[in-house]
Structures are given as C-alpha cells and as structure tokens.
Amino acid sequence: MPAVPTPGRGSSDVRHALAPWALLLAALLPLAAGAQAPGGRVMPPEGSACPPDHLTLYAGTVLRYSRRAGQTEVKIRTDWQTTESVRLKHPGSDDPSRWFLIERQPFTAADWPRIELAPGRLRPGLRVAAWVCDDGRNATLDWAPPRAP
C-alpha cells in the first residue's frame, strides 16, 4: 500500500516557500487574463497597429508618473527586474488617454479616478503593461488598478 503523506512540519515549509510565487502569479494574472497566444506569448492589445514582432512589453509596477502638457512619462519596475521609462508625446494637450487601456479595455474619462488620485498624481500600487513599438510611435499603456479586497 502506498504511503499517504501526512501534514507535518515539511508541508508547512513547502506552503511557506510557495507563498511568494503565489503572490507573483496573482499579480500577473490580471494583466494577462485572456491575452495569451498559443505557445504562451502574451498577446498585444487588440487593434495594435505595430506588428507583434516589433513590440516589446514592459509589465510591472509604476515607480514614477508625470503627466503634463505635451507629454506623459512613466517609469516601470518590470516583472523581469529591469527599470524602463516610457514617454508618450501629446503636443498641445495634457491628455494621453488616447494611448491608454484599462484592463485591456478602452480607457474612458470615467477611468481617470481609477488610476489617479488627482490630475497627474497616480494611485499607489498601480501596475501597467507598456506595449512599446520599435518604430518610435507612442506606446500603449494598459493600466491594472489594484482589485478591491
């Protein structure tokens, strides 16, 4: 008869060791939900004009955010432990929302309070997926606000 594992000190250690990985997975799932291509690649946003083989994804936590007339800048600490900066140019306007998504859906005026506490002041704990094309056009930023407890 095969041995049946019994809970003990070892099983607690395994659960404790896996906890950080479970948190990472829980943080990444909202960004990738319904967005995986066959083969495990994260799909670019629907309607992206940049060919997929010319796109780079910077997904992670926002370190710095600045929105002002003419440009918006976002500094991201990626899930791959790099720090990347993305700049959107929007001459004559302080509104970059044309290049924003929220949870892979079109960004609307009603979404501003989900990402900003006040104009130009980002909510804490916000994640973003920045889809950057190698031809210099503006990136697409897909915001992932924290889920309500």
Write down the pLDDT at residue 147.
Answer: 78
Below-50 pLDDT ranges, the chain: 14, 18-19, 21-34
User: pTM (2 decimals)?
Assistant: 0.73
Write down the pLDDT at residue 22.
Answer: 41
Q: How far apart are CA 8 and CA 114, in angstroms?
A: 44
Identify the H or E element spanning 114: helix 112-115
Write down the pLDDT at residue 41.
Answer: 74
Q: How far apart are CA 55 and CA 129, in angstroms?
A: 12
Write down the pLDDT at residue 81.
Answer: 97
Structure tokens belonging to residue 52: 């997929």
Radius of gyration, alpha carbons of the chain: 19
Write down the pLDDT at residue 95.
Answer: 96
Contact of 44 with 50, CB cutoff 8 Å: yes
Domain boundaries in the chain?
52-144
**CATH fold for the domain made of 52-144:** OB fold (Dihydrolipoamide Acetyltransferase, E2P) (2.40.50)
Buried b (16+ CB within 10 A) or exposed e, 42-78: eebbeeeebeeeebebbbbbbeebebeeebbebbbee
Per residue in 92-125, pLDDT (tens digit) is: 999 999 999 999 999 999 999 999 999 999 999 8
Write down the pLDDT at residue 21.
Answer: 45
Write down the pLDDT at residue 25.
Answer: 38
